[in-house]
Amino acid sequence: MEKRDLLYEGKAKRVYTTDDKDIVMVSYKDDATAFNGIKKGTIHDKGKVNNEVSNKVMMYLEENAIPTHLVKQINERETLVKKVEIIPLEVIVRNKVAGSLAKKLGLEEGTILKRPILEFCYKKDELGDPFINVDHILAAELATEEEIEIIQKMARKINELLVGYFKNINIDLIDFKIEFGRTPDGQVILADEISPDTCRYWDATTGEKLDKDRFRRDMGNVEEAYLEVYNRIFA
Ligand code: UDP
């Protein structure tokens, strides 16, 4: 399938049209941003790692009855995905306390949560992706009640599946962010990516961080951490 025009350029990916109107091509960049674009940098080969890691994880989810946008990987950095209308929500699932939740609850990073927490943020850069609840989503018509129910169910199921998947490679899945899209016929499917950019991965033995927090917090060995996740998944 031919890549045609640039449809959209985001912080970490470019999206191109193809000769099939229902399919777009995603191209992963090495560019990294944090804190709503204030911190900028590049992480060598991040695009390759995130493309391949995300595709592998999405395939695993597909095998376990989660509908995703994945169609086919084209090369190290590029993948064909179903064209969807992105629902403007960042859906965050948490198993242990980290990041913004540590501040919100005044709890130490790493504290085990009694049950997973699901959060919504409004995906809108100009507003700094604010935390919102179901009433906000309905009142602002960001998604329907039915869609929210599907998203909540899928997010919890995805969490269960991913916790097990990463446990197998000795990684503790602390939290992650996912996004959903609507297909032209109105089906809600998992979209965007699941990668070290969008998850917190801690080595289950040492607690070492193997994700974008190494970039956000200037911890060093960022490339090495991304490659470590890649190597464990593809070992
Ligand atoms: N996250 C993300 N994109 C965002 C915000 C958060 O992928 O724009 C992910 C982040 O990597 C982490 C989880 O969502 O795995 C929870 O992030 P948190 O709310 O703690 O925000 P942060 O501390 O990253 O600002």
**82 strand-pairing partners:** 23
Dihedral through CA 185, CA 147, CA 211, CA 123, nearest 10?
Answer: 90
Would you say 165 and 174 are in contact if contact means Cβ atoms under 8 Å apart? no
CATH 3.30.470.20 in the chain, residues? Answer: 85-222
Residue 198 Cα to ligand 1 midpoint, Å, equals 7
Ligand 1 pocket, 91 CB below 6 A? no
Ligand 1 pocket, 100 CB below 6 A? yes
Residue 128 region, left (φ>0) first, then alpha (ψ -120 to 50), else beta? Answer: left
Per the prediction, the chain carries an average pLDDT of 98
Supply the pLDDT for residue 164.
98
Q: What is the pLDDT of residues 75-130, one digit of tens each?
A: 999 999 999 999 999 999 999 999 999 999 999 999 999 999 999 999 999 999 99
CATH class of 85-222: alpha beta
Task: Please state the CATH superfamily assignment of the domain spanning residues 3-82 in this structure.
Answer: Phosphorylase Kinase; domain 1 (3.30.200.20)
Q: What is the pLDDT of residues 23-81, one digit of tens each?
A: 999 999 999 999 999 999 999 999 999 999 999 999 999 999 999 999 999 999 999 99
Q: For a pocket test of ligand 1, which of 104, 124, 175, 215 has the largest count of ligand atoms closer than 8 A to its C-beta?
A: 175
Whether the pLDDT of residue 140 is over 90: the answer is yes
Whether the pLDDT of residue 1 is over 80: the answer is no
**43 strand-pairing partners:** none
Between the two ends of the chain, the Cα-to-Cα distance in Å is 30
CATH 3.30.200.20 in the chain, residues? Answer: 3-82
Residue with tokens 């509908």: 67
Supply the pLDDT for residue 83.
98
Supply the pLDDT for residue 2.
78
Q: How many CA within 13 A on the CB side of residue 234?
A: 14
At residue 79's C-alpha, the angle toward residues 58 and 167, to 5°, is 25
For atom 6 of ligand 1, the residue with the nearest CA is 177
Supply the pLDDT for residue 223.
98
Helix (H, G, I), strand (E, B) or coil at 209: strand
| Token representation of residue 126 | 């100009």
Residue 183 Cα to ligand 1 midpoint, Å, equals 26
Mean pLDDT in residue range 164-178: 98
Residue 226 Cα to ligand 1 midpoint, Å, equals 16
